[in-house]
């Protein structure tokens, strides 16, 4: 009797699990279909059209309109094929993303302390680069592989330290153009090229910010951009860009990389630092959970940490005037043209290319930026930054 009962309960447990899995899969498909439908106005219109045909089909069935029903049915039957053709690019990128997604990503294999160390090194480097108004683009790989983009740069495979990160972006070095990619606890490469976004960004954002948004549209990487013009720091993820101050940057990276649930009050792109140096009023969850003296001690701890990172950043000395002594950008010479979005940028890229050709004519073997920076020491190569 008890064996029968056990069998029955195991059977019903199995069928409950099966039903839950069934519902979950259908929910997942619906979720992605609706997300796709909402992603742009074209897909929204197409889905509205499909809904209309389904309504016509149901109505014609109800009213017995045979010819209308025949055509509506035909449309629905063949519509599936038409949808695959129409959404081919979206489906391809969705499958590509799925294929590149790795549950056991490099970053997930790091321990909590290693992740926090990684975040602190990045934040320290960004603090210094931002203060020095040295442009930078740093992408951190998450579950979707960035190997394809690492291949466009110069491989490094070095430890992630604030010193190395800042050195890379010093403008008199050959690797400063392009992006640094971090995979796990290593700097995989520098000087990588990212496909820029086609979105209409505000005019103040140039090629570097476009590249940062671009990579965030096609992968789940988190990218930090430091503006050379203003020193402002932005983060891009999932096709969105946010301006952050140093504290918000640390919170954001801790949350996305270490999974720590510290909310960030980072406003949408264009909103500059609003809280620099002040206590973070948004860090309520932990203090609400432990209302005794936890909030204070947590805030104090964070303040201490930020001070530590400030001291660390202050210890690193960047060469003075490196932005005035910068060589011809190595970027266009490596056949990775900076996409030009305005006429001025286009002209700049053409001038740079022309100069690169002239340079190659004088000394064909000296294409490396290192050689060029040596020449700059003689005062020959002063170039304004594009
Ligand atoms: N597609 C790209 N992938 C990687 N890096 C890029 C790309 N396009 C531009 N960059 C980097 O950005 C630099 C040019 O930045 P630009 O001044 O046009 O951008 P910006 O968004 O206005 O940033 P900033 O505020 O720093 O001037 C290039 O020298 C190069 O290092």
pLDDT at 51 exceeding the cut of 60? yes
- Higher pLDDT pick, 216 / 78: 216
Structure tokens at 2: 């008890």
* pLDDT attached to residue 136: 96
Calpha distance 227→28 (Å, rounded): 39
pLDDT given at position 272: 40
Instruction: Compute CA distances 37 → 31, 49, 239, 251, whole Å.
Output: 10, 12, 17, 32
Residue given tokens 């291949």 in the structure block: 151
ipTM of the complex: 0.96
Residue nearest to ligand 1 atom 25, measured at CA? 227
Instruction: Convert the pLDDT of each residue in 221-265 to its tens digit.
Output: 999 999 999 999 999 998 899 999 999 999 999 999 877 654 444
Residues 6+ apart with CB under 8 A from 359: 328, 366, 372
pLDDT computed for residue 9 by the predictor: 73
**For residues 333-362, average pLDDT:** 50
Do residues 218 and 199 make contact, with C-beta atoms less than 8 angstroms apart? Answer: no
Ligand 1: residue whose CA is nearest its atom 13: 208
Task: With H, G, I as helix, E, B as strand and everything else as coil, classify residue 186.
Answer: strand
**Closest-lying ligand 1 atom to the alpha carbon of residue 214:** 1
Q: Which of 21-30, 106-115, 309-318, 320-329 has the lowest mean pLDDT?
A: 320-329
Distance 168 CA to ligand 1 centre (A): 15
Name the token pair of 329. 């950008």
- Report strand pairing: 240-244 vs 154-159: unpaired
pLDDT at position 339 is 42
Give the sign of the dihedral formed by CA 172, CA 177, CA 179, CA 184.
negative
Query: Is residue 362 over pLDDT 70?
Result: no
Question: Rounded mean pLDDT of 39-66?
Answer: 83
- pLDDT by residue (tens digit) across 129-154? 999 999 999 999 998 889 999 999 99
Helix residue spans in 151-234 (DSSP H): 162-169, 207-218
| Per-residue pLDDT, 43 | 72
pLDDT, tens digit, 9 for 90 and up, residues 265-311: 444 444 443 333 333 333 334 444 444 444 567 778 888 888 889 88
Contact 180, 137 (CB under 8 A): yes
Which residue's entry shows tokens 């505000």? Answer: 202
The count of C-alpha atoms lying within 13 angstroms of the C-alpha of 102, restricted to the half-sphere facing its C-beta, is 17
Bridge partners, residue 180, by sequence: 138
Is 329 near ligand 1, meaning CB less than 6 Å away? yes
The reported pLDDT for the residue numbered 2 is 61
The number of CA neighbours under 13 Å toward the Cβ of 32 is 12
> 254 CA distance to ligand 1 centroid (A)?
26
207, β-bridge pairs = none
Closest CA to 331 of 225, 207, 227, 197: 207
Indicate the pLDDT class of residue 357, thresholds 50, 70 and 90: low
* pLDDT at residue 361 in the model: 41
| CA 316 to ligand 1 centroid distance, Å | 24
Count of CB atoms within 10 A of residue 81's CB?
9
Q: 256 with 238: CB under 8 angstroms?
A: no
Looking at the chain, the whole-number percentage of residues with pLDDT higher than 90 is 31
pLDDT of residue 162: 95
**CB distance 193 to ligand 1 below 6 Å:** yes
pLDDT value, residue 258: 79
The answer to whether 234 and 139 are in contact (CB under 8 A) is no
pLDDT tens across 188-210, in order?
Answer: 999 999 999 988 888 889 999 99
pLDDT digits (tens, 9 = 90+) for 302-319: 888 888 898 888 888 887
For residue 67, give the 3-state DSSP assignment. helix
pLDDT at 40: 65
| Residue 369 Cβ < 6 Å to ligand 1 | no
The atom number, within ligand 1, closest to the CA of 228 reads 26
Predicted local distance difference test score (pLDDT) of residue 369: 31
Q: How far is the CA of 362 from the centre of ligand 1 (A)?
A: 28
């Amino acid at each position: 009797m008890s064996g029968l009962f056990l069998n029955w309960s195991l059977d019903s447990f199995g069928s409950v699990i099966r039903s839950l899995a069934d519902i979950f899969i259908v929910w997942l498909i619906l979720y992605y279909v609706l997300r796709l439908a909402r992603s742009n106005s074209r897909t929204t219109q197409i889905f509205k059209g499909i809904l209309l045909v389904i309504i016509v089909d149901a109505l014609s069935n109800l009213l017995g309109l045979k010819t209308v029903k025949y055509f509506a049915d035909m449309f629905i039957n063949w519509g599936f094929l038409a949808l695959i053709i129409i959404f081919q690019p979206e489906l391809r990128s969705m499958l590509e993303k799925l294929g590149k997604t790795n549950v056991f990503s490099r970053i997930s294999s790091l321990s909590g302390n290693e992740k926090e160390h990684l975040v602190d090194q990045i934040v320290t480097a960004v603090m210094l680069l931002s203060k020095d108004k040295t442009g930078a683009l740093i992408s951190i790989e998450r579950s979707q592989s960035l190997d394809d983009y690492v291949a466009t740069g110069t491989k490094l495979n070095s430890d992630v330290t604030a010193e190395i990160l800042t050195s890379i972006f010093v403008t008199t070095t050959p690797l400063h153009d392009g992006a640094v990619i971090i995979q796990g606890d290593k700097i995989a490469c520098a000087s990588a090229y990212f496909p820029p976004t086609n979105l209409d960004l505000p005019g103040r954002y140039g090629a570097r910010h476009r590249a940062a948004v671009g990579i965030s549209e096609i992968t789940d990487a988190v990218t930090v951009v430091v503006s050379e013009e203003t020193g402002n720091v932005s983060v891009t993820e999932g096709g969105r860009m946010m301006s952050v101050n140093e504290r918000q940057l640390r919170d954001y990276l801790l949350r996305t990389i270490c999974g720590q649930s510290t909310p960030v009050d980072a406003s949408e792109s264009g909103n500059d630092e609003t809280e620099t140096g002040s206590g973070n009023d948004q860090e309520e969850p932990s203090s609400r959970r432990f209302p005794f003296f936890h909030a204070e001690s947590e805030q104090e701890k964070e303040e201490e940490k930020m001070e530590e990172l400030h001291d660390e950043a202050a210890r690193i000395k960047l060469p003075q005037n490196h932005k005035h002594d910068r060589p011809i950008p190595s970027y266009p010479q490596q056949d990775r043209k900076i996409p030009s979005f305005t006429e001025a940028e286009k002209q700049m890229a053409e001038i740079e290319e022309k100069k690169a050709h002239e340079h190659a004519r004088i000394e064909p073997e000296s294409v490396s930026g290192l050689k060029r920076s040596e020449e700059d020491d003689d005062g020959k190569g002063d170039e304004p930054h594009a």
